């Protein structure tokens, strides 16, 4: 089995070469799957991620969730504490590039992680058991590990990111479900 780093490099290269048109179409299919999930329909406070280049695009999902009256949060990176904090995102929020180039709101109004009803998580790769391979900094593992055990989490991926097995270590935190197209 490949090391996490080798696997990460291999999948990130595939994502980089993924056709933009395919990415958009598959992101839309994944969005439709998400909107049909019972756990999504019930959730009032949902944490999304703002997609980086190559990732499943979340913009339309966020817009749909806002139209449905949900409170949306996105992660803000607290680099000196190597942690993520959910910040409320409204429909006309201004974004800036945070550490590592991830977009985040300019004005931060935080929400407590335990108040979230659902967390949508990115990943470089997943397996069908929900194990995820992130970008290697551990931010999402630390964040997911602090959530109440019953908080649902869903990983979003393209089929090319779904592997038979993802190598895991004791500190890795899996998601409860993975949606892919």
* CATH code of the domain containing 46: 3.40.50.10420
pLDDT score recorded for residue 65? 98
In terms of C-beta density within 10 A (0-12 exposed, 13-18 middle, 19 or more buried), how is residue 102 classed? buried
Strand partners, 155: 121, 178
Q: Are strands 118-121 and 162-163 parallel, antiparallel or unpaired?
A: unpaired
pLDDT score recorded for residue 133? 97
pLDDT score recorded for residue 131? 98
> In this structure, is residue 169 part of a structural domain?
yes
Strand order in the sheet with 45-47: 83-89, 71-78, 45-47, 118-121, 153-157, 177-180
> In this structure, is residue 33 part of a structural domain?
no
pLDDT in tens, 141-170: 999 999 999 999 999 999 999 999 999 999
pLDDT score recorded for residue 107? 86
> In this structure, is residue 168 part of a structural domain?
yes
> In this structure, is residue 174 part of a structural domain?
yes
> In this structure, is residue 10 part of a structural domain?
no
* Alpha carbon of residue 127 to chain centroid: 15
> In this structure, is residue 108 part of a structural domain?
yes
> In this structure, is residue 8 part of a structural domain?
no
Handedness of CA 64, 47, 104, 106 (dihedral sign): positive
Give how many domains the chain has, as a whole number: 1
Q: Give the end-to-end CA distance of the chain in Å, rounded to a whole number.
A: 25
Q: Map residue 34 onto helix, strand or coil.
A: helix
pLDDT score recorded for residue 155? 98
> What is the domain extent for residue 71?
42-180
Q: SS3 for 93-145, per residue? A: CCEEECHHHCEEECCCCECCHHHCCEEEECCCEEECCCCEECCCCCHHHHHHH
Token reading at 47? 């944490």
Whole-prediction pTM: 0.95
State the 10-residue block means of pLDDT for the chain, 181 residues long: 91 95 97 98 98 94 97 93 92 88 91 98 96 95 96 98 95 97 97
pLDDT score recorded for residue 80? 82
> In this structure, is residue 54 part of a structural domain?
yes
């Amino acid at each position: 089995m490949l090391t996490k780093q080798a696997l990460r490099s291999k999948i990130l290269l595939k994502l980089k070469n993924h056709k933009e048109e395919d990415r958009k179409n598959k992101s839309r299919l994944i969005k439709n799957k998400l909107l049909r999930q019972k756990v999504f329909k019930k959730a009032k406070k949902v944490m999304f991620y703002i997609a980086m280049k190559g990732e499943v695009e979340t913009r339309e999902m966020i817009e749909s969730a806002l139209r449905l009256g949900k409170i949306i949060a996105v992660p803000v990176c607290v680099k000196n504490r190597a942690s993520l904090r959910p910040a409320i995102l409204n429909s006309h929020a201004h974004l800036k590039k945070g550490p590592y180039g991830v977009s985040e709101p300019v004005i931060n109004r935080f929400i407590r992680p335990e108040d979230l009803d659902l967390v949508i998580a990115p990943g470089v790769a997943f397996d069908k058991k929900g194990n995820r391979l992130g970008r290697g900094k551990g931010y999402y593992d630390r964040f997911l590990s602090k959530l109440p055990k019953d908080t649902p989490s869903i990983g979003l991926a393209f089929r090319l990111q779904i592997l038979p097995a993802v190598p895991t270590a004791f500190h890795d935190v899996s998601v409860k479900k993975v949606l892919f197209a």
